[in-house]
Amino acid sequence: MHLLPLLAIALLASAAAGLDERTVVAALLSRDVAAYDSVVAGFEQNLQKELPEGVGVHRFYLAAGEDYETLLAEVRSLQPSLVFTLGTPATRLAQSRLTGLPQLFAMVLNPEENGITPPGVCMDIPVDVRVETLARMLGEVNFGTLYSSASVGAYRRLNQACARQGIELNALMVDGPEAFPRACVQLCRKVDCFVMLPDAGLFSPDAVVFLLREGLHRGIPVVGLSERYTQAGALVSFGLDYTHIGEQAALLWRRGAEGQYEKPSRMRFSVNLLTARQLRLRLPAEIVDEAGMVIGR
């Protein structure tokens, strides 16, 4: 037999073996959204740099009404080194149905309150950092917020952070969306700044529109939950660097950190200078320069 064909066969076999040796990760995403894709991209980029054998990431998206048995069977068939879950629904599904596989979560809000076990990187932006940034931005003002039974924990954390900063927090508990407008008007009459809490049931799209209009009407800045709120008219919103969360999750896994929650190590915020002008606010230049997104510069 000729030497060249033998060499070619050997090279192909070596390449195939290399592919087989790659670290296999099954990424289970609660929804098909850009934020989750950015987290997975950051996770994969970090591992590609650090693992000499390479990494193969297979993405699976949950869909409403889907038969998850087929999806779970596909995940198991990969025999992954890790199941990387994004969002609470995907994490709950994996932790209940894929118990024999190593797991790591990301993009879960308040994991302990939601019964999610570590390891993982949660979505909780340290509330003290947010309050401190707002104090630097707005000076001595009193805050206000609305909350429901679903966001009591978030309200308590905000209240404690405000107390540590010597800031007064006025709050009203709201029974449901129908009571939101009345409570919003009542609260906005006596506060200098409205801080939204992560509560999708309370802060519906209609409620947010009402809040932003009321804030402009009364000259009260609204603090939102992500860049899209800033784009809609909130003065400032605090958010996450999604790619960095993926990188942080990869580092956590490579360290072999079991039983450990981590909060995001990097925060970004956005400001709307158009809203600031409407509210006749002059924001400190150093704060604006720190923002990851500035509207109306």
- Quickly list DSSP for 9-53: HHHHHHHHHHHHTSEEEEEEESS--HHHHHHHHHHHHHHHHH-TT
**Whether the predicted pLDDT of 13 surpasses 60:** no
- Cα angle 127, 128, 131; round to 5: 85
Render pLDDT for 122-151 as a digit per residue (tens, 0 to 9).
Answer: 988 889 989 999 999 999 899 999 999 989
Look at residue 16 and tell me whether its pLDDT is greater than 70. no
- Give residue 71's identity as a one-letter amino acid code: L
Residue 6 is predicted with a pLDDT of 42
Nearest to 144 by CA among 90, 177, 190, 210: 190
pLDDT-derived band at 270, boundaries 50, 70, 90: very high
Mean pLDDT for the stretch of residues 88-108 = 96
Q: Which two tokens stand for residue 74?
A: 């596909």
Query: Beta 267-272 vs 261-262: how paired, if at all?
Result: unpaired
Range 179-193 average pLDDT: 97
Which domains are delineated in the chain? 23-108 (3.40.50.2300), 127-239+267-295 (3.40.50.2300)
Per-residue pLDDT at 7 exceeds 80: no
In the predicted model, is pLDDT for residue 14 greater than 50?
A: no
